[in-house]
Amino acid sequence: MPPAANPAANITYVIGHKNPDADSICSALAYAAFKEARGETGYVAARCGNSNARIDTILARFQQPLPVYLSDVAPRVRDLMAAHVVSVAPNATCAEALELIDRHDIRLLPVTDADRHVVGTISLPHLGGLFIPRLSEPRHLRQVNSSLAYIVRALKATALHLIDADRIDEYFIRVGAMDVGTFWKISERENIPAGQSLIIVGDRRDIQARAITLGVRALIITGGLGVDDDILRLATHAGVSVISSPWDSATTALGVRTATTIDRVIEKQFASFHPDARIADVRRKISAMSAPAAMVVDDDGALVGVLSKSDILKPVQTRLVLVDHNEMTQAVSGAEDVTITEIIDHHRLGSLNTAQPILFINEPVGSTCTIIADLFRREGLQPSPAIAGIMMAGLISDTLHLHGPTTTRKDAILLAWLSEIAGVNSKQLADEIFNSGSVILANPPEKIVRSDFKIYEEEGLRFAVSQVEELGFGNFWQHAKPIADALQGLRDEERLAFAALLVTDINTQNSLLLVKGDAGFIQRISYAHVEQDEIFDLPGIVSRKKQLIPYLTSLLKEMAADGTAPSGRTPAPFAKNRK
């Protein structure tokens, strides 16, 4: 299995059903080409399953790439998160954190180390708790955990003389606004050492000199005022740092407090998600969080984005055009969570709902490629020879070169039209396609039963029908036992009421039906038993869509009416609830 691509914004994927057959792949390529021919951009052919020998032969014949593989289109965290995220270092100041929060208008600021690993978060409520006045704790109001270098940065001040500028310590602010005789008494009463004191003062020489004599950690001179040379010499001699602030004393005092490092207010408990997590899986978790957002981290724990509560309300950008199917049980995983813009199909209608009206083309013709070829022709557009050949191949494969019971006159007309454009003889192309290799010989049993495999829902039950086309039944009989075991495994794994494999002989236009499931259901099958209650002979049956599925669903309806609907051996063979 190749690595799956991530659904991209501004792209609409044209995608067939799971376990794709030739018509599913060819119609995806053809409809993307049709959109391009109309001048509509951004349509990309996609698939949600593996190729096979027949598909490979067709693509090689017309030199077309295999459509991009999408395993799951469900919206992921990476689709809705904010990817361009600012963060702050653990040793940053409150001033720096506040500036980032204000400049980028964010509610939660990640705190990351040098390797972008998330160590916590900061928010305005966290910072507010640091600055809200508590008059009952005056000592706390004056406390600053910072360095002189951080204080200079926070104030946009001028360092006139600094000692150990980068040393982070616990300091206490004191505004020198009172008489020189009493200004230090409060500090003495609160037992604050001079070496941990930051004195904020204007042009009062007496307070400046007294503070230097006491041996304070630093003088912060406010108002951008100059400092007398003798005061600066005195401070230098005493080992007291001097800083010139451009602000008044009140503003300077607030500014110094914002120079506090954030380490004391970092919230170490935070929610985080992987970018590949499904939005459906994280929606309830993020709604229950008290924090406004969650961190998005990669496998190494490095920050790659932030997912806020409002982000999960954003519209999903992924858009799909479904071709060759219209039932959600057959669609790519996650299709129910994205926008389906169009459906082009030729099968029965399933139980699919869309939020908005869409373009839905459903015609009773032999192939989806027939419908797309008709769209080209009706709009006066001519496909390239390669795309015409691709549509021929899908049409030939699905109609068994116009010999299948689903074939219509339109199929024949459009096959002739495409043949002329492609310059390819349809009989020769059919021989090349049908001789491209045996599915049974080329694959293990587990893959055989999932070849062109579709799940259906009827009367509240889920069942599956796979189909392989062979040149004769010899290969099947040689491997019938392991194939039967694999079919039983498929039924158990998918929790189905029953699972069936239709093996069609292209030469004779007959089929064999292998069934594993509810005994009461199997006993109702009226075709001849080749092996009792397991393999049935279906002469003239080659179309799953037009012949087999209507027959099987009629049996289920009869059993429902009789009150004998299959219960199944598996834990839950019933239709899955949709949210």
Cα 519 to chain centroid distance, Å, stands at 42
Residue 342: helix, strand or coil by DSSP?
strand
Contact 264, 287 (CB under 8 A): no
User: Are 418 and 333 part of one and the same domain?
Assistant: yes
Which is higher by pLDDT, 537 or 127?
537
User: Does residue 86 surpass a pLDDT of 70?
Assistant: yes
| Average pLDDT score over residue span 10-23 | 93
What is the number of domains present in the chain?
2
579 — pLDDT class (breaks 50, 70, 90): very low
| Average pLDDT score over residue span 367-388 | 98
In a domain, 511, yes or no: yes
User: Are 340 and 429 part of one and the same domain?
Assistant: yes
User: Are 382 and 481 part of one and the same domain?
Assistant: no
Domain range for residue 524? 439-562
Q: What is the reported pLDDT for 460?
A: 86
Q: ∠ at Cα 215 (210, 221), nearest 5°?
A: 60
257 — pLDDT class (breaks 50, 70, 90): confident
Taking phi over 0 as left and psi of -120 to 50 as alpha, with beta for the rest, 496 belongs to beta
Domain boundary among 434, 462, 489: 434
User: Are 513 and 472 part of one and the same domain?
Assistant: yes
User: Does residue 52 surpass a pLDDT of 60?
Assistant: yes
**Three-state SS string across 384-443, please?**
CHHHHHHHHHHHHHHHCCCCCCCCCHHHHHHHHHHHHHHCCCHHHHHHHHHCCCCHHHHC
- Of all residues in the chain, the percent with pLDDT exceeding 70 is 94
Closest residue by Cα to residue 408 from 350, 363, 447:
363
In a domain, 465, yes or no: yes
In a domain, 535, yes or no: yes
| Average pLDDT score over residue span 385-414 | 95
| Average pLDDT score over residue span 338-356 | 89
184 — pLDDT class (breaks 50, 70, 90): confident
Q: What is the reported pLDDT for 127?
A: 79
332 — pLDDT class (breaks 50, 70, 90): very high
In a domain, 399, yes or no: yes
User: Are 406 and 335 part of one and the same domain?
Assistant: yes
Taking phi over 0 as left and psi of -120 to 50 as alpha, with beta for the rest, 2 belongs to beta
Residue 313: helix, strand or coil by DSSP?
helix
In a domain, 155, yes or no: no
User: Does residue 568 surpass a pLDDT of 50?
Assistant: no
In a domain, 85, yes or no: no
Contact 108, 129 (CB under 8 A): no
Q: What is the reported pLDDT for 571?
A: 42
- The Cα 172–Cα 193 span in angstroms is 9
**Three-state SS string across 466-483, please?**
EEEEECCCHHHHHCHHHH
**pLDDT tens digits along 409-426:** 999 999 999 999 999 999
Q: How far apart are the first and last CA of the chain?
A: 30
Domain boundary among 381, 399, 434: 434
Contact 346, 362 (CB under 8 A): yes
User: Does residue 322 surpass a pLDDT of 80?
Assistant: yes
- The Cα 293–Cα 279 span in angstroms is 14
Q: What is the reported pLDDT for 576?
A: 44
User: Does residue 383 surpass a pLDDT of 80?
Assistant: yes
Structure tokens at 126: 């966290």
In a domain, 477, yes or no: yes
Q: What is the reported pLDDT for 2?
A: 54
User: Are 334 and 408 part of one and the same domain?
Assistant: yes
Domain boundary among 408, 434, 460: 434
Q: What is the reported pLDDT for 298?
A: 93
User: Are 446 and 424 part of one and the same domain?
Assistant: no
Q: What is the reported pLDDT for 132?
A: 64
Q: Which of 123-127, 465-469, 536-540 has the lowest mean pLDDT?
A: 123-127
| Average pLDDT score over residue span 126-147 | 71
Q: What's the mean pLDDT when you consider all of the chain?
A: 90
User: Are 511 and 548 part of one and the same domain?
Assistant: yes
Q: What are phi and psi of 104, to 5 degrees?
A: -100, 0
Q: What is the reported pLDDT for 569?
A: 41
In a domain, 459, yes or no: yes
Q: What is the reported pLDDT for 573?
A: 44
495 — pLDDT class (breaks 50, 70, 90): very high
Q: Tokens 């049709």 sit at which residue? A: 34
- Of all residues in the chain, the percent with pLDDT exceeding 90 is 66
Q: What is the reported pLDDT for 551?
A: 95
Residues contacting 271, CB < 8 A, separation 6+: 285, 286, 289, 291, 294, 295
**pLDDT tens digits along 96-109:** 898 899 899 988 99
- Return the CATH number at 386: 3.90.1640.10
User: Are 428 and 466 part of one and the same domain?
Assistant: no
- Return the CATH number at 510: 3.10.310.20
287 — pLDDT class (breaks 50, 70, 90): confident
558 — pLDDT class (breaks 50, 70, 90): very high
| Average pLDDT score over residue span 368-393 | 98
User: Does residue 223 surpass a pLDDT of 60?
Assistant: yes
User: Are 396 and 445 part of one and the same domain?
Assistant: no
User: Are 446 and 558 part of one and the same domain?
Assistant: yes
| Average pLDDT score over residue span 59-78 | 94
Q: Which of 20-29, 283-292, 296-305, 509-518 has the lowest mean pLDDT?
A: 283-292
User: Are 458 and 422 part of one and the same domain?
Assistant: no
- The Cα 292–Cα 122 span in angstroms is 11
